[in-house]
Copies of this chain bind each other. A is one copy, B any other.
Amino acid sequence: MTASSTAALQLFVDRLTARSILTDEEQGAILALPSHRVEFRRKQDFVHIDEVTSYACLIASGVVGRFGQTATGARQTTAFHIAGDMVDLHSTVRPVGIGGLNALCEATILRVPHAAIREVAARYPAIAEAFWRDCMLDAAVLMQWVVNVGRRDARTRIAHVLCEMAIRIGEDRQILVEYDLPITQEQLGDAAALTSVHVNRSLKTLTDLVTIRHGRVRIRDWHALADVGEFEGSYLTADTAPDRQRRYLERP
Q: Which residues of A contact B (CB under 8 A)?
A: 19, 50, 66, 68-71, 74-76, 78, 90, 92-96, 98-99, 118-119, 121-123, 125, 128-129, 131-133, 135-140, 142-147, 149-152, 156, 193, 230, 234-235, 238-239, 244, 248-252
Contact = CB atoms under 8 A, between A and B. Distances in A.
Contacts of A136: 90, 93-94, 135
B125 A50 contact: no
B248 A92 contact: yes
A122 B193 contact: no
A239 B91 CA distance: 11
A147 B239 contact: no
A47 to B, nearest CB: 14
Contacts of A151: 68, 70, 74-76, 193
Residue with the highest number of chain B CB atoms closer than 10 Å, among A71, A94, A135, A149: A94
A98 B143 contact: yes
